[in-house]
């Protein structure tokens, strides 16, 4: 079915979202020409959608199964007013962040499938985005239907050497198998962790083999949607040292938390996208 949504350029820009480092399975499916719009697609867990801008109606059209539309509305976080966040940023004295906002109109923080985002960020550690995407797609091709993400009951039963072969997972294969087995045994409940208060959820994630501070923060933001989470990776370290050099790391994080409470993760995405684009 086709579902329509009125969204301004400030509300929604898939080019910005899919290149912001938060998602690995959203892409431009076809490039438009002769009046035909660009078409995008996204997959998350068992769900898939195609979407494009209908310029005649000035609406975004989303094509998915009727029973998946609720998932996709939540996935794109359409209930959250990101323009309100932008208005706070526009009134700030932060030149770098205001430039980042101009560069990143239409950014949103996605609410992704918990299982898929969990494993995706285990794969992401000490890795780059093209390799992460390739590893995830290889898992989907080998152990699912090429579209949907493989289930824990499948990944738990794969020999480690097989999982490593041709997937570029390396040592991460051991983590993926271990986490999948714990899911099946019932000793790990990601959904339950996602409903804990912030500090408790973060500390529970750190107890899991294969999850360090950076991966935990990414899961907290991109999976659990804790908007106060502010992942620090190589790019963010570069931003702090180059664009906020008058701050120490701790004083910088304090500044972000005090100035943009409740949407620090959104600020991080604007900065990350802007710095990589530059």
| Residue 24, number of CB atoms within 10 A of its CB | 23
pLDDT at 34: 67
Per-residue pLDDT tens digits for 104-125: 999 999 999 999 999 999 999 9
Query: Which residues lie closer than 8 Å to 111 by C-beta, 6 or more apart?
Result: 74, 75, 76, 77, 225
51-55: average pLDDT? 93
Give all domains of the chain, ordered by start, each with its CATH number.
2-79 (3.30.310), 114-222 (1.10.340.30)
Confidence category of residue 31, pLDDT binned at 50, 70, 90: confident
Residue linked to tokens 């009046």: 35
- Mean pLDDT (the chain, rounded): 95
Q: How many CA atoms lie within 13 A of 203 on its CB side?
A: 5
Percentage of residues of the chain with pLDDT beyond 70: 99
CB 118 within 8 A of CB 219: yes
Confidence category of residue 10, pLDDT binned at 50, 70, 90: very high
| Residue 184, number of CB atoms within 10 A of its CB | 14
Of the candidates 221, 181, 185, the one whose C-alpha atom is nearest the C-alpha of residue 205 is 221
Confidence category of residue 224, pLDDT binned at 50, 70, 90: very high
Of the candidates 256, 264, 255, the one whose C-alpha atom is nearest the C-alpha of residue 221 is 264
Does residue 70 surpass a pLDDT of 70? yes
């Amino acid at each position: 079915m086709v579902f329509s949504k009125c969204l301004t350029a400030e509300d929604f820009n898939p080019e910005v979202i899919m290149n912001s480092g938060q998602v690995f399975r959203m892409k431009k499916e076809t490039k438009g020409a002769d009046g035909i719009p660009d078409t995008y697609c996204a997959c998350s867990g068992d769900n898939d959608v195609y979407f494009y801008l209908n310029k005649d109606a000035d609406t975004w059209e989303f094509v998915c199964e009727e029973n998946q539309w609720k998932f996709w509305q939540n996935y794109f976080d359409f209930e959250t007013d990101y323009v309100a966040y932008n208005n706070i940023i526009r009134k700030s004295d932060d030149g770098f962040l205001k430039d980042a906002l101009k560069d990143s109109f239409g950014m949103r923080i996605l609410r992704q499938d918990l299982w898929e985002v969990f494993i995706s960020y285990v794969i992401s550690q000490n890795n780059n985005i093209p390799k992460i995407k390739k590893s995830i797609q290889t898992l989907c091709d080998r152990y699912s239907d090429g579209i949907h993400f493989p289930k824990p009951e499948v990944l738990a039963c794969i020999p480690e050497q097989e999982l490593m072969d041709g997937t570029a997972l390396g040592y991460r294969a051991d983590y993926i198998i271990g986490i999948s087995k714990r899911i099946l045994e019932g000793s790990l409940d990601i959904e339950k962790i996602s409903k804990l208060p912030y500090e408790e959820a973060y500390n529970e994630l750190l107890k899991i083999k294969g999850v360090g501070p950076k991966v935990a923060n990414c899961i907290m933001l991109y999976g659990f949607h804790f908007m106060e989470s502010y992942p620090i990776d190589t790019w963010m370290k570069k931003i702090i040292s180059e664009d906020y050099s008058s701050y120490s790391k701790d004083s910088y994080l304090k500044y972000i938390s005090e100035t943009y409470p409740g949407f620090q993760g959104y600020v991080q995405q604007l900065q990350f996208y802007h710095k990589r684009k530059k």
